[in-house]
A and B are shown apart, each in its own frame.
Chain A
Amino acid sequence: MNRAAFTAAIAVESRKTLASRVVITSTVLLVAGIAVLAGSLTWAASTGNEQVLAQMGPMADRTGWDRLMGVVAQVTAAAAVLGFGVTVSWMFGREFTDGTITGLFALPVSRPDIALAKLVIYLAWALVVATVLVLLLGLVGLAIDLGPVTGDVLAALARQHALTGLSAVIAIPAALAATLGRGLLPGIATTIGIVVTAQVVVVAGSGAWFPLAAPALWALEPARVTSTQLALVTVVPVIFVPAILATWRRLQLDR
Chain B
Amino acid sequence: MAEPALPAPRLAARGLSRTFSAEAGVHDVDLEIGPGEIHALVGLNGAGKTTLMRLVLGMLRPHSGDTRLDGRDIRAADAQTWTRVGHLVDHPLAYGELDARTNLALAARLHGVPRSRVNDAVERIVADLDLSRYVTIRARNLSQGNRQRLGLAAALLHHPTVIVLDEPTNALDPAGVILLREILLGRARAGAGILVSSHHLDEVARVADRITVVNHGRTIGALDPGGIDIERAFFRLVHADEANQAGGRPG
Q: Which chain A residues in 14-47 approach chain B with CB under 8 Å?
A: 15-16, 19-21
B126 within 8 A of A: no
Q: How far is the CB of B99 from chain A (nearest CB, A)?
A: 9
Q: How far is the CB of B195 from chain A (nearest CB, A)?
A: 12
Given the known interface contacts A102-B89, A253-B54, A254-B60, the answer about A21 and B110 at a Cβ–Cβ threshold of 8 Å is no
- Would A98 and B79 count as touching, CB distance under 8 A? no
A51 within 8 A of B: no
B97 within 8 A of A: yes
Given the known interface contacts A8-B110, A15-B98, A100-B94, the answer about A108 and B61 at a Cβ–Cβ threshold of 8 Å is no
A223 within 8 A of B: no
- Would A19 and B79 count as touching, CB distance under 8 A? no
Q: Which chain A residues in 66-107 approach chain B with CB under 8 Å?
A: 98-100, 102-107
- Would A109 and B85 count as touching, CB distance under 8 A? no
Contacts of B40 in A (CB 8 A): none
Partner among B59, B92, B111 whose Cβ is within 8 Å of the Cβ of A253: B59
Q: Which chain B residues in 55-73 approach chain A with CB under 8 Å?
A: 57-61
Majority-rule SS of B interface residues = loop
A108 to B86, CA, bound (A): 11
Contacts of A15 in B (CB 8 A): 98, 102, 106
A16 to B83, CA, bound (A): 22
A11 within 8 A of B: yes
Interface string of A232-255 (1 = CB under 8 A from B): 000000000000000000001110
Closest to B61 in A: A252
Given the known interface contacts A98-B91, A103-B154, the answer about A109 and B57 at a Cβ–Cβ threshold of 8 Å is no
Partner among B54, B79, B97, B115 whose Cβ is within 8 Å of the Cβ of A5: B79
- Would B87 and A11 count as touching, CB distance under 8 A? no
The interface on chain B, measured as residues whose beta carbon lies within 8 A of the other chain's beta carbons, has a size of: 35
Closest to B54 in A: A253
- Would B59 and A102 count as touching, CB distance under 8 A? yes
- Would B95 and A109 count as touching, CB distance under 8 A? no
A228 within 8 A of B: no
- Would B111 and A107 count as touching, CB distance under 8 A? yes
Closest to A95 in B: B95
List 14 additional A-B contacts (Cβ < 8 Å) besides A8-B109, A107-B85: A8-B110, A15-B98, A21-B97, A98-B96, A99-B90, A100-B91, A100-B93, A102-B93, A103-B151, A104-B93, A106-B59, A108-B79, A108-B110, A252-B61
Partner among A20, A108, A252 whose Cβ is within 8 Å of the Cβ of B82: A108
Given the known interface contacts A8-B110, A12-B109, the answer about A106 and B58 at a Cβ–Cβ threshold of 8 Å is yes
Contacts of A150 in B (CB 8 A): none
Partner among B59, B79, B107, B109 whose Cβ is within 8 Å of the Cβ of A2: B79
A–B complex contacts, Cβ < 8 Å, 22 sampled: A2-B79, A5-B79, A12-B106, A12-B109, A15-B102, A16-B106, A19-B97, A20-B97, A99-B91, A102-B54, A103-B154, A104-B110, A105-B57, A106-B57, A106-B82, A107-B110, A107-B112, A108-B83, A108-B111, A109-B79, A109-B112, A253-B60
Contacts of A107 in B (CB 8 A): 82, 85, 110-112
A12 to B113, CA, bound (A): 13
A4 to B113, CA, bound (A): 10
A5 to B83, CA, bound (A): 11
- Would B97 and A106 count as touching, CB distance under 8 A? no
Contacts of B112 in A (CB 8 A): 4-5, 8, 107-109
Given the known interface contacts A102-B59, A106-B58, A254-B60, the answer about A12 and B110 at a Cβ–Cβ threshold of 8 Å is yes
Partner among A8, A16, A106, A253 whose Cβ is within 8 Å of the Cβ of B87: A106
Contacts of A8 in B (CB 8 A): 109-110, 112
- Would B110 and A109 count as touching, CB distance under 8 A? yes
A106 to B58, CA, bound (A): 7
Given the known interface contacts A12-B106, A109-B112, the answer about A252 and B85 at a Cβ–Cβ threshold of 8 Å is no
Q: How far is the CB of B49 from chain A (nearest CB, A)?
A: 14
Contacts of B87 in A (CB 8 A): 103, 105-106
Contacts of B154 in A (CB 8 A): 103
Contacts of B106 in A (CB 8 A): 11-12, 15-16
Contacts of A16 in B (CB 8 A): 95, 97-98, 106
- Would A103 and B79 count as touching, CB distance under 8 A? no
A92 to B110, CA, bound (A): 17
A103 to B157, CA, bound (A): 14
